[in-house]
Amino acid sequence: MKKLWQAYVDAGLPQPDSAVLSKLEAALQAEHVPIPNSEAQEALLQRLKADQARLRPQAGTLSFRRQMLASRRSARYPGVVPARLAPLFAMVVPQMRLLSMSFWLATAVIMFLGGLLTSPALFERYHIAPLFIVAPLLAALGVAFAFRSYNSRVAAWEQSCPITPMQLVIGRLSVVVAYDIILGMISSLFTAWQGLPAPLVMIICAWLLPLIAFAAILLLFTIHLDSKSAAAIGVLIWLAFTLVTHGGSALLSLSLKSLAMALAPTIGLAVYSCRLAAARIKRWSMLQYAS
């Protein structure tokens, strides 16, 4: 009652007169509130104890995955990886093992070849930079290759692992896209060193933006269709992009500000694709468990 009185003072509200408050106090003292008796308490206890085993997180559920990840996080990479990054490593490392050696080698060879062929002489004569042409296509095909298992039985096995669909998508994308970006960076440095008439930042942006956009688009197609159809659509989009932008070289004529402005929607598209893909995988996995 004192607290209520004080509340009116603190809030700067007109206080009810003392007669009303004293009546309220009397009513508060007489207030009829149920109290659980021992039978009710015992019944609730029995119910909860009986339900506890049934209600515990089961394998295959999100809670189970979280529990498993939490228990393994600290133990897997002690001292080497910061605790905050440990879940990322826990996602990425198993994904790397799923991709065969031919994938790594083929990607590296094509990307380096693109970098080697991007000579200043070729660019000045034909306005073509093979690096800009191969980088987005490699990323797109890499995504289709990495996510091909969503239409195979491997997906059922993946769903039983203690990671969420979103973690799975990010883990797998990180492997493919990060590898392509690292190779592209090395090739860009080589190209700039050869004397391509453009700043290094522009060279990187010219292939990085299409790479991210293509990877995001192909992720959506691969998850919603199948990997072959997605790859076919990806190649068609890539062909159209190559023709319109003259093999990506047209991007070099844009200002750095325009490219930077294009980066935000591209990253937005990538995030949106990841979310849609994760939702799709989650819905798919729920249907699997339901059946």
Partner 1 sequence: MNADASKENCISDADIVASLRSGDSACIEVLVARYQAPLLRYAFRLLGEPTAAEDVVQESFIRLLTSLEQLRDPTKLRSYLYQIATRLCRDQQRRPSRREQPVGEWESDALATCAPESTDERFYIADLLRRLNPRHAEVIVLRYYEDMDLATIACILNVPVGTVKSRLHSALRRLHDMLTEPEFVRRKAAVW
Q: Residue numbers of the site for partner 1 (CB under 8 A)?
A: 3-4, 7-8, 11, 13-17, 20, 23-24, 26-28, 30-37, 39-41, 43-45, 47-49, 51-53, 55-57, 63, 66-67
Q: State the minimum distance, in angstroms, from the CB of residue 33 to partner 1.
A: 5
For the CB of residue 30, give the shortest distance to partner 1 in the complex, in Å: 4
Name the burial class of residue 128, with classes exposed (0-12), middle (13-18) and buried (19+) by CB atoms within 10 angstroms of its CB: middle
User: What is the closest distance, in whole angstroms, from the C-beta atom of residue 168 to partner 1 in the complex?
Assistant: 19
Minimum CB separation of residue 6 from partner 1 in Å reads 10
Q: Which is nearer to partner 1, 63 or 229 (CB)?
A: 63
Closest approach of partner 1 to the CB of residue 32, in Å: 4
Give the whole-angstrom CA distance, residue 179 versus residue 261: 25
Which pair of tokens denotes residue 78? 């002690």
Q: Which is nearer to partner 1, 1 or 182 (CB)?
A: 1
Which of 140, 111, 129 shows the shortest CA–CA distance to 213? 140
The residue among 57 and 199 lying less far from partner 1, judged by its C-beta, is 57
For the bound state, the minimum distance from the C-beta of residue 42 to partner 1, rounded and expressed in Å, comes to 9
3-state secondary structure of 196: coil
68/263 with CB nearer partner 1: 68
Q: Whose Cβ is closer to partner 1: residue 27's or residue 121's?
A: 27
**What gap in Å lies between CA 131 and CA 119, rounded to an integer?**
10
Of the candidates 152, 204, 151, 149, the residue with the CA atom closest to the CA atom of residue 172: 149
Sequential DSSP letters for 6-17: HHHHHTTPPPPP
Residues 6+ apart with CB under 8 A from 252: 129, 198, 202, 203, 206
Question: Which residue, 11 or 287, has its beta carbon nearer to partner 1?
Answer: 11
Q: Cα-Cα-Cα-Cα dihedral of 33, 39, 45, 46, to 10°?
A: -150
- What's the length of the chain? 291
